[in-house]
Structure formats: C-alpha cells, structure tokens
Amino acid sequence: MSKGFTLIEVIITMAIFVILIFGVTAMLNDIFVNSNQQLQSMSNIDQARSVLVLLTNEIRNATTGSDGSYPLNQAGDSQIIFFSNYKTNNSVVERIHYYFSGNTLYKGIVLPTGNPLSYNLSSESIRVVATGISNGSSPLFYYYDGNYDGSTSALSQPVNINQVTFVEANLLVLNQITPTDTSTFSVTAGVAIRSAKDNLGN
C-alpha cells in the first residue's frame, strides 16, 4: 500500500499555507504602519512643544523695534507679529512673524538694516517651524489685557495691541495614530509681555 498525500490534501495544505502567509504579512504591515504613524504623531507633538517654548521666550522679551515700533505689531487669530531681542544679546531687535497656513506653522524674521535702522519686509526670511497643525478655523493665538487672572475671556478681534499684556498660543496637533485619524492633541502655552504687563506676575 503506497503512502503519501493525495492531490486534494496537497491543495488544501497549500491553500492554508498561503492564507497564513497573507495573514502574517498583513499583520506585520499593520504593525509597522501603525508604529510609523505613532512616531510621526509623537514627533509632531514634540515639535509643537519646542516651538511654543521658543515662541513664549521671544514674546516674553518683546521690546520696542529698532525703528521705534511698539513691541507688539499685529495680534491676529492665526498670526502674530512682534519685535524681540531674545537670543541676540540685546544687540539686534528682530521683527518676528508667526503665522499659520494649511497644516503648517511658519516663522518669518526681518533684521533691521540701514541708517536709521528700518525693517525691509521684502527681506523676510521664512521657514517652517511645525507641521501637522490642525487648528482650522480655531484661533491659534489669544490675547488678554492687564485684568487677566487665568480665567478672564480673551480680547475680541480686532485686538487693540496697546491693551495686550498676555498672549496664549494653542496648537491643535494631528494625532495621526492611523492614516485616517483626524483627532487632535492640544499643546498650549501662555506668557506675559514683560515690557507691556502691569499687574501680572512673572
């Protein structure tokens, strides 16, 4: 009596093997894709936190521009323009412009030139500072006057820049745990403008 597999048994075995291979491949692909998405999400959040640390330090040190401009130049929902000498050893006062477009936060810098010193806006140097931002129509920046106690409502737009003593930034960062995930993580920081505050603490 001959021993061995029948043709049907071989076909069934091969079919099971192929199904297992496809299953393992799909599982491994899902693991690696989700892992990459989670790393991207963490990177976006870390990037946003780093940006807000720099932004708050710059705003805290906002000062009169080299051309005599008021420390705060524009106070919009999705952009802010101010003058600061943070990290310049007080020798140079930069015109700093943060603005949000699409899913990206940009930073523009204009250095003063000429005699007398002035800011040539056509020389603005712009770079991307954060991606994966999903504020949409939600404000990126909020502004408060000297009565701010941590629960006071933000000033209404259009904001009178002469009233602003405290600025809050709120970045909504895409979680992107999966390619179709549209949920967000909020990264918030607030800071008093030292040159403008009156009754606020440090």
| pLDDT tens by residue, 88-144 | 776 789 999 999 998 899 999 999 999 999 999 999 999 999 988 888 889 999 999
Give CA–CA dist 151/42, Å, rounded. 30
Whether residue 41 is predicted with pLDDT greater than 90 in this model: the reply is no
In this prediction, residue 149 carries a pLDDT of: 84
Could you tell me the pTM of the whole model? 0.75
Compute CA distances 59 → 27, 33, 34, 43, 200, whole Å: 48, 39, 37, 24, 15
Q: What is the pLDDT of residues 140-180, one digit of tens each?
A: 999 999 888 888 899 999 999 999 999 999 999 877 655 66
Confidence label for 185 from pLDDT (cuts 50, 70 and 90): confident
Phi first, then psi: what are they for 178, rounded to 5°? -125, 160
User: What is the C-alpha end-to-end distance of the chain, expressed in Å?
Assistant: 94
Selected residue with higher pLDDT from 23 and 105: 105
- Quick count: other Cβ atoms within 10 Å of Cβ 39? 11
SS3 content of the chain, % helix, strand, coil (to 5): 30, 30, 40
